[in-house]
Amino acid sequence: MIIGYARVSSASQNLARQIEDLKNYGCEYIFEEKVSGKNFDRPEYKKMKKKLRFGDVLVVHDLSRFGRNKEEIINEWKSLVDDNIDIVVLNLPVLNTAQYKDVEGIGKLVSDIFLSVMSWLVEEERTRIKTAQRQGIKIAKKQGKYKGRKIKYRPDAPNPMDRLAYETVVEMLKRKDSVMDIHRRTGIARMTIYRIKEELQELDVPVDLK
């Protein structure tokens, strides 16, 4: 079975291009989610791994869909290969484990070296973006141009009703209520609920969304 996995980091990003490429490749199932790639503790990724069986093929659009941490990418890759799961990275044809099954030595060596280099580049790119963002904010603050985002719903919101609404969202997320249920009860926009959920995940608060 050919199984695809598509991921973006936030609710505001679009999965359409990844999904189209995965369908064109011939994926029979596609797991998709909008969640940070800081680690592999992701709901849909876990479901996908349970679906994978001996001899299946896992397809991703690019290596960063696995994650952004070099060591974790390599460890996850090797774990899948050890379970006899083939992996295809669409924008890097050299990272196709199926083509090295009958090749001893140089073929697999090239793949391993390329995986190591590319996973390092993925991690470096993430670091570069974060550094650039911090530097940009620092410069803007010096120039008096950076005011920061005005976030209405937060734990220290000056308005008691906004604080209460935030706390309600957090509790419902912990109970694993759906975004739509939270939206209906609180009236808070779904994008805002996703933003709060992502903030909680950064703090390692166990939440999931249906």
3 state DSSP class of 86: strand
Burial of 122 per CB tally in 10 Å (0-12, 13-18, 19+): buried
Supply the pLDDT for residue 190: 87
Q: What token pair was written down for 197?
A: 């959920």
Q: Which domains does the chain have, with CATH numbers?
A: 2-122 (3.40.50.1390), 149-210 (1.10.10.60)
- Under 8 Å between Cβ of 71 and 37: no
The single residue of 9, 10, 64, 116 carrying the catalytic annotation is 9
Supply the pLDDT for residue 130: 61
Supply the pLDDT for residue 22: 95
The Cα 85–Cα 78 span in angstroms is 10
| Catalytic (active site) residue 79 | no
CA 158 and chain centroid, separation: 32
* DSSP for 31-81, written as a single string: EEEE---SSS--HHHHHHHHH--TT-EEEESSGGGT-S-HHHHHHHHHHHH
> Going residue by residue through the chain (210 aa), what tens digit of pLDDT does each one get?
999 999 988 777 888 989 999 999 999 999 999 887 777 888 999 999 999 999 999 999 988 887 777 778 888 888 888 898 988 988 887 778 777 666 555 445 556 665 666 666 656 665 665 665 566 656 556 666 555 566 788 888 888 888 888 889 988 888 888 888 898 888 888 888 888 888 777 666 555 544
Burial of 66 per CB tally in 10 Å (0-12, 13-18, 19+): buried
Supply the pLDDT for residue 128: 62
